[in-house]
Amino acid sequence: MPENNRQPDCPLPLGNYDRIVLAHGGGGRLMHQLIDSILLNAYGDSLLADSPDSTAIEVEGTRLSVTTDSYVVRPLFFPGGDIGKLSVCGTVNDLAMSGAKPLYLTVGMILEEGLELEELREIAKSIGETAREDGVRIVAGDTKVVEKGHGHGIYINTAGIGIREHGQMIGPSKVEPGDAVILSGDIGRHGIAVMAAREKLPIEPPIISDCATLWKSVERLLNAGIEIHCMRDLTRGGLGAAVVEIANSSEVRVELVERNIAVSEAVRGACEILGFDPLFVANEGRFVLFVPEKDVLRAIDALSEISPDIKPVKIGSVTNESIGVTLQSLTGMERAVQMPSGEQLPRIC
C-alpha cells in the first residue's frame, strides 16, 4: 500500500524507537506513524495525503493517476507468481483502485551480486507478460547491482501512470452510511502461499497466490455505470487493515459479517497452525468495493465471469453509529476490528 493516504497534518510519536524495526514496514500503525511524522513532514507536499492508493494529478487537462511501490518478497518465486508478476500487479492495482486505466510502468531493479541470470530472465518474462495482459507499456527502466549480503536477489520498484477517463470521484471521502461493502473473492491466499514457500511448510496441494491484476474488474464496474464510492486492494495488512483505514478516513462505521468473508479451508488451516488471523493476511488480487446499496446486485453482476477466481459477495455495510469496524463472528458475537500495530502482521512483502 502506498503511503499517500496518510494525513500530513497530524504527526504522531514514533514510540520508543530510534531505529527502523521490521514492524515499520508491516502496514500497521508503526508504518503509518513513520510516514506521518518523518516523510510527509519533510516532503511538505499535500498531494501525497489526498488519495489512497494512487495520487490524482492533472496535466494540461489530462486526468492522470500516479503511484509507486517497491517489492521485496521472499522467496522470489512462489505458487501462483513471482516477484516480477507481483511488481506489475501491485502497481497496476493501485491505479485501478482509483478508477484509473493503467497505461505506463517504470521498472527499477536492485540486483544482488550472485543472482542467477536464469532467475532474472524468468522474472523479467513475468513482468513483460503481466504488463501485456492489461496493455500496459514499460516506458523506463533502471538496473543497479549491490554487493552480496546487501540485498535479497532482487528488489523491484515499479511506478505506474494511469488515466482517469470517467467522471467519478472515487475515494474514502465518498463512503457514506447506506453503502454496502463487496469483497471480490476469498482472502489470505497470497500471504499464506508466500509464507508456506518461504518456510517450506508441507501444505499439499500448495496454496496458490491470488496475485492478479484488477483493472479488468474495475473496467467492468465503470462500464456498467456502477456508482463506485471507494475501492481498495487488500495487500499489506489484508482486508482488516484496509477496512479500518477506510472507516477512519471516512469517519463511518463498517459492519462486517464474518460468514460472508470467504476463506479457503487450506488457508484457514494454515492460519490456525501459524497463529494468523486471515483478516490481516495479505492478498494481491482481491479488493473491497463500497457502493450504494442500490448498486449491489449490478456490481456483483458486473464482476461475475471475469475469472473463476473472482466471486464477489456483499460482506458488510456502512452505518453512522460510530467510527470504526465491527465483525459479526460466526457465532453471532460482535467484536471490534482494530489496526494491528505492525508487529503482529505476517511479513510477506
Q: Which of residues 94-123 bind a second copy (CB under 8 A)?
A: 103-104, 106-118, 120-121
202 binds a second copy (CB under 8 A): no
CB closer to a second copy out of 2 and 240: 2
CA distance 144 to 153: 12
**In which order are the strands placed within the sheet that holds 313-319?**
230-233, 287-292, 179-183, 313-319, 253-257, 324-328, 334-337
Piece of the chain touching a second copy by CB under 8 A; list 18-26, 187-195, 258-266, 319-327: 18-26
Q: Footprint of a second copy on residues 33-52 (CB under 8 A)?
A: 34-35, 38-39, 41-45, 47-48
Distances from the Cα of 167 to the Cα of 51, 58, 106, 298, angstroms: 16, 13, 26, 19
Q: Footprint of a second copy on residues 135-194 (CB under 8 A)?
A: 137-147, 149-152, 155, 157, 159, 161, 163
> Do the Cβ atoms of 98 and 53 come closer than 8 Å?
yes
CA distance 282 to 345: 9
Piece of the chain touching a second copy by CB under 8 A; list 132-140, 171-179, 249-257, 286-294: 132-140
Choice from 11, 20, 225, 323 touching a second copy (CB under 8 A): 20
Q: Which amino acid appears at position 44 of this protein? A: G
Q: Shortest distance, CB of residue 232 to a second copy, whole angstroms? A: 15
14 binds a second copy (CB under 8 A): yes
CB closer to a second copy out of 57 and 208: 57
Choice from 2, 28, 102, 340 touching a second copy (CB under 8 A): 2
> Do the Cβ atoms of 229 and 291 come closer than 8 Å?
yes
| Phi (first) and psi of residue 60, to 5 degrees | 45, 45
Q: Please provide the DSSP assignment of 48-92 as one string.
A: HHH-SSSEEEEETTEEEEEEEEEE--SSSEETTEEHHHHHHHHHH
Distances from the Cα of 178 to the Cα of 68, 175, 224, 244, 296, angstroms: 33, 9, 20, 17, 11
Q: Which amino acid appears at position 248 of this protein? A: N
Residues 6+ apart with CB under 8 A from 334: 326, 327, 328
Grouping H, G, I as helix, E, B as strand and the rest as coil, residue 232 is strand
Q: Shortest distance, CB of residue 340 to a second copy, whole angstroms? A: 15
330 binds a second copy (CB under 8 A): no
Total chain residues near a second copy (CB under 8 A): 86
Chain centre to alpha carbon of residue 27 = 10
Q: Shortest distance, CB of residue 226 to a second copy, whole angstroms? A: 24
Choice from 11, 22, 304, 335 touching a second copy (CB under 8 A): 22
Piece of the chain touching a second copy by CB under 8 A; list 28-36, 214-222, 224-232, 328-336: 28-36
12 binds a second copy (CB under 8 A): no
282 binds a second copy (CB under 8 A): no
55 binds a second copy (CB under 8 A): yes
Q: Per the structure block, which three cell numbers stand in for 250?
A: 471516512
CB closer to a second copy out of 67 and 283: 67
Q: Footprint of a second copy on residues 225-254 (CB under 8 A)?
A: none
Q: Shortest distance, CB of residue 102 to a second copy, whole angstroms? A: 12
CB closer to a second copy out of 149 and 205: 149
